[in-house]
Structure 1
Amino acid sequence: MRPILLQGHERSLTQIKFNPEGDLLFSCSKDHVINVWFTHNGERLGTYDGHNGTVWSIDVDSQSRFLVSGSADNTLRLWSVQTGKCLYKWEFPTAVKRVAFSDDDEQIVCVTEQRMGYQGAIRVFNINRDGDGSNQSKEPASFFNPIGSKAVVCAFAQSPNLLITGHESGKIAIFDAKTGEEVQNNERAHMDVVTDLQLSPDRSYFITSSKDKTARIHDTRTLMVIKTYSTETPLNSAAIAPLKPYVLLGGGQDAMSVTTTSLRQGKFETRFWHKIFEEEVGRVKGHFGPINTIAVSPRGDCYASGGEDGFVRVHHFDESYFRAKPYGDLEIED
């Protein structure tokens, strides 16, 4: 698996995202820039310029028409994927740490930071898809402050009007997006901050990674932990591979303590784990520092990782990956 190295950022990556067709890859980083790339050859298609702070999070809708981004410049922005134009800007008192589109593209959710006397908040905005998309409502459809530990990651659940959130304490919860009421929670889902949350293609289960050195798969309805993958390094990101029973985990010691360890000990590989058997099946090296974000193409033909080193590496899976029999001789029908 020879990687395609994407060099378009000057600082560490914060999130990467494939569009639903898997032909485009979006990346954002601490250098204020959002890039979009062609997946098959790593050519840069364009940039989305406008933020003047770290871009913490991005998401793209199911038609690859709109891109949404949240940044440390206290704004949430809506972009046209095709033209790179900023269509609308929402401003808040604190930084936007996580953004996500709903399943039907009608809403976006954003999590803002707890800072300077302001509580951490979750806001849901309705998206007006008529015309060019620049006519949006300034006011959120709903707004609430989760009580207790602050929310750091979130996404829409499979049922409408429900949000899944991951918190600093390691808690995972489900909130009603309209009322802000906590419907369900699992206080002990992780022992440390939840660093990433990615849903399965049908949103019936999701994977979380944490600084407590584990990644876990949870049921979306009950929040029950179904599988646990324990590693010896803090994890920053976890992704589910479609069509194959694998999960991909990435992390490494934080950047501050990296200088004291060698590359080998820093554990900067992408780890492949068997989703069902909870066994590690392989590792891919490459980054010169912790892996901050991992995404797998919805087509299941490649994955990308973004690191503290400022590089995005796109790996197209070899033929042997598709020929492997992860269940032994058992054939699984899709």
Structure 2
Amino acid sequence: MRPILLHGHTRSLTKIKYNSDGDLLFSASKDKSPSVWYSHNGERLGTFEGHGGTVWDLDVSYDSNRLLTGGADGACILWNVSNGKELFRWTTETQNAVRAVAFAEGDRKALYVTDKTMGQSCEIFIVEISENIAQQTSGHLKRIVVQGDRATVALWGKLNKTILTGHSDGTISLWNAETGKLLKSIKPHTKLVQDIQFSKDREFFITASKDQSSLIIDATTLEVMKQYTADCPINSASISPLFPQIMLGGGQDAMNVTTTSARQGKFEVRFFHLVFEEEIGRVKGHFGPINTLAFHPNGKSFASGGEDGFVRLHFFDEDYFSFKFPEELTFEMNSDE
């Protein structure tokens, strides 16, 4: 499995994400210039210039016409994907960094989350996205103050009824998107939750934590269903839309990378069977911690972004699609009978 290396960023990657069709890959990094690439050959289409610092998160609309980014400069920016132009900008009153952004289903609403710094609380802002950008306003529909530790990642739940957040102390919270009320909160991790990604049907999600574990959690009840452990901090995790498999990425903390070899630093993408919780393979390549991962929507490839500033596109070999555990083969035989 020979990857395509994308080197358009000068600093470490913070987020990568495919659009709904899978033909485009968006990337954000600490170099303040999000990029968009063709996912089949790694050709860069362009960059989005406007942030004044690290871009922590991004999300793309379902029709791929608009991009949402949040950065350390305290700005949440809405972009035109086709020409890279800035359409609108929300700025936080206190200039707190925007840590997470997300479009709601239907792309008519969005959220952005500000950091808990300078004596200010972490807050979730829900804003309306106007179809006609000339009518876009800077006001917000809802403002939710997050009590306790800051939220590091946020996603919309099914039908936009809830908001899911992961926190720096390992907490996972579920909020009512209409009222802002905290519905449920659990603490399945002991350290920072770095990433949350939904399954294809959005019935459950996977977490990635600095406590060296990753969990499958029911999206409605927040019941922990599966657990995967590693011997290094996990920065990102993703669920295959094609097979019952998940992948994890991470590695030794960035501050210690210069004193550690790639082998010792464990800078590998690890694949696990979703149900059996057994590791089934590893993919090497990055020269630093893996910060972000994403499966292609068709499940036939994946992308990884690392501390080394590279995005790597991986296309699975034919034998990947024929691999089965003995238990799976037995089940298929019994089903045919």
Shorter-chain TM range is over 0.9
1:134/1:278 CA distance change after superposition, 3 Å: farther
Match of 1:114 in 2: 116
Matching of residue 194 in structure 1 with residue 196 in structure 2: no
Tell me how far 1:117 sits from its aligned partner.
1.8
Match of 1:167 in 2: 167
Q: Name the SS of the counterpart of 1:328 in structure 2.
A: helix
Tell me how far 1:325 sits from its aligned partner.
2.2
Match of 2:36 in 1: 36
Match of 2:250 in 1: 251
Q: Name the SS of the counterpart of 2:309 in structure 1.
A: coil
**Letter of the 1:101 counterpart:** F
Tell me how far 1:189 sits from its aligned partner.
1.3
**Letter of the 2:125 counterpart:** R
Q: 8 Å contact 2:122–2:147 — kept in the other structure?
A: no
Tell me how far 1:259 sits from its aligned partner.
2.3
Tell me how far 1:329 sits from its aligned partner.
4.5
**Letter of the 1:312 counterpart:** V
TM-score normalized by structure 2?
A: 0.95
Q: Which has the higher helix share?
A: 2
**Letter of the 1:221 counterpart:** T
Match of 1:135 in 2: 135
What is the CA–CA distance in structure 2 between the aligned matches of 1:276 and 1:70, rounded to whole Å? 35
Aligned-pair identity (%): 50
Q: 8 Å contact 1:87–1:134 — kept in the other structure?
A: no
Mapping for residues 1-334 of structure 1, pairs under 5 Å: 1-92=1-92, 93-130=95-132, 133-186=133-186, 188-326=187-325, 327-331=328-332
Q: Once the two structures are superposed, what CA deviation does each residue of 1:232-258 show, in whole Å capped at 9, x if it has no partner?
A: 000000011111111010000111112
Q: 8 Å contact 1:158–1:202 — kept in the other structure?
A: no
Q: Name the SS of the counterpart of 1:247 in structure 2.
A: strand
Q: 8 Å contact 2:18–2:24 — kept in the other structure?
A: yes
Q: Name the SS of the counterpart of 2:231 in structure 1.
A: coil
What is the CA–CA distance in structure 1 between the aligned matches of 2:84 and 2:136, rounded to whole Å? 17
Aligned residues: 330
**Letter of the 2:128 counterpart:** N
Q: Please list every run of at least 4 consecutive aligned residues from structure 1 whose deviation after the TM superposition is greater than 3 angstroms.
A: 329-333
**Letter of the 1:30 counterpart:** K
**Letter of the 2:274 counterpart:** K
Tell me how far 1:177 sits from its aligned partner.
1.6
Tell me how far 1:159 sits from its aligned partner.
3.8
Q: Name the SS of the counterpart of 2:256 in structure 1.
A: helix
TM-score normalized by structure 1?
A: 0.96
How much is the aligned-residue C-alpha RMSD, in angstroms?
A: 1.3
What is the CA–CA distance in structure 1 between the aligned matches of 2:171 and 2:250, rounded to whole Å? 20
Q: 8 Å contact 1:88–1:135 — kept in the other structure?
A: no
Instruction: Give unmatched runs, 5+ long, in structure 1.
Output: none
What is the CA–CA distance in structure 1 between the aligned matches of 2:253 and 2:238, rounded to whole Å? 20
Q: Name the SS of the counterpart of 1:83 in structure 2.
A: coil
